Structure 1
């Protein structure tokens, strides 16, 4: 074949594309297990972070197995259902009606010796998804800790939701007021919500991301109201 011809050039490019594509596919398959392990380890780290448990990267799995004493799924009635809590796609669940969602719960023995109940949340920020975990005390109302993360919020603005300065504002806030479930609101600094619920100040300059966090908490925590109320009743008995 004439190496100067268009046919040769096309054939060469096609062959090169096949070889490179095959190499990339083989590499992706060979690294899949490791990538999944890294993703699982990071998820474990985030769950633990909501309960103020931070450990070196090489100790995350051991800490998770030690401190997460149980993991299960509940429904909107607060009852356990079958399934693996760790494998629940929270993003997909948020797109379903609240009454049909699978709601993961992670029980954790925290540093104070008390049991904490960690709930995942998922929503939308300005530029992409935001997510996190909220840990509750055994009373089912008081927030023990929170962890938030994002995919692409603006550095110095919306991205500040991942900083402890923001997540620590949620500590001690409650979601039940005189027996009524009221998720914590995120409002502009200097303002207060009209409903009387507990609130935290939003990120300065990150209004849309802050509103996204507030909407995320309302959408994701509300289906857990029955479960959290059951915890409150057990605590009072």
Structure 2
């Protein structure tokens, strides 16, 4: 009986030691890979920026492409201007960086965001960040393209992506999402290159300068510069994209920045 007890005890000790060793290995791997995972996540967003702007080159380093083609600027949304040095310090003090500005974290940081009332939140984002990172393609002081981060709720998830505009601050260069959980084959068709191509060349504003871009259920009117076909079988996702795009180019979003850049001649 004693021999059996010793055998059981030894088996348990070996099992416990094996679990401890495996735990240490897994934990060490997780810590060791964390920086790589963070870099991959950052590159996913950089690739989305480049793709929205029509600048992505397959097979080349995303980080190098982004560094050579894109300028990152932080914007004060309420005032529609680029952030001051004091504001950049405020962002850094909150644990955020300019080069890898985290839109999600910013919107969840009370000191850097505010709650939105239902009447001013058609995109259902709940909180609006005080600052946002925008991405610029420029020739000297001349802005050729500006890529705006956009997000809002679809059917099942919040869609995060980028809307790129020409230097006229009106003509759409591209729209793409890098994070969402919409239904594959339905709302997930926001990733379909054919649908994304429908946005290229459309205009955000009408002749009176009012936000006019819209996603139309049943199909856009032929020749209408402000309309994009809705996604077939995905009414709520289409409505969500419509709402989020209109929100972010409106006065609560980047509208004031767009107006100021137009006035400056971009």
Normalising by the residue count of structure 1, what TM-score does the alignment of the two structures yield? 0.81
Q: Which residue of 2 aligns with 1:147?
A: 176
Whether 1:218 aligns to 2:246 is yes
Q: Which residue of 2 aligns with 1:115?
A: 144
Q: Which residue of 1 aligns with 2:123?
A: none
Whether 1:175 aligns to 2:204 is yes
SS at match of 1:87: coil
SS at match of 1:182: coil
- Matches of 2:256 and 2:245 in 1, distance apart? 16
Whether 1:125 aligns to 2:127 is no
- Matches of 1:213 and 1:36 in 2, distance apart? 27
- Relative to structure 1, is the Cα distance of residues 216 and 17 closer, same or farther in structure 2, using a 3 angstrom cutoff? farther
SS at match of 2:228: strand
Please show how residues 8-27 of structure 1 align to structure 2 within 5 Å: 15-27=17-29
Whether 1:233 aligns to 2:263 is yes
- Matches of 2:233 and 2:178 in 1, distance apart? 17
Q: Which residue of 2 aligns with 1:47?
A: 49
Please show how residues 48-87 of structure 1 align to structure 2 within 5 Å: 48-81=50-83, 82=88, 83=91, 84-87=97-100
Whether 1:166 aligns to 2:195 is yes
**174-183 or 21-30: bigger deviation:** 174-183
Kept after mapping to 2: 8 A contact 1:150/1:159: no
SS at match of 2:5: coil
CA RMSD of aligned residues (A): 3.1
Whether 1:104 aligns to 2:117 is no
Deviation at 1:78, TM superposition (A): 1.0
Deviation at 1:62, TM superposition (A): 1.6
Structure 1: gaps spanning 5 or more residues:
none
Whether 1:208 aligns to 2:236 is yes
Normalising by the residue count of structure 2, what TM-score does the alignment of the two structures yield? 0.73
**78-87 or 20-29: bigger deviation:** 78-87
Deviation at 1:218, TM superposition (A): 3.0
Deviation at 1:159, TM superposition (A): 1.2
- Relative to structure 1, is the Cα distance of residues 184 and 210 closer, same or farther in structure 2, using a 3 angstrom cutoff? same
Whether 1:198 aligns to 2:211 is no
- Matches of 2:201 and 2:11 in 1, distance apart? 68
- Matches of 2:246 and 2:15 in 1, distance apart? 53
Deviation at 1:119, TM superposition (A): 0.5
Deviation at 1:160, TM superposition (A): 1.1
Q: Which residue of 1 aligns with 2:30?
A: 28
Deviation at 1:190, TM superposition (A): 3.6
- Relative to structure 1, is the Cα distance of residues 91 and 213 closer, same or farther in structure 2, using a 3 angstrom cutoff? farther
- Matches of 2:72 and 2:219 in 1, distance apart? 40
Structure 2: gaps spanning 5 or more residues:
92-96, 117-127
Q: Which residue of 2 aligns with 1:186?
A: 215
Deviation at 1:44, TM superposition (A): 1.1
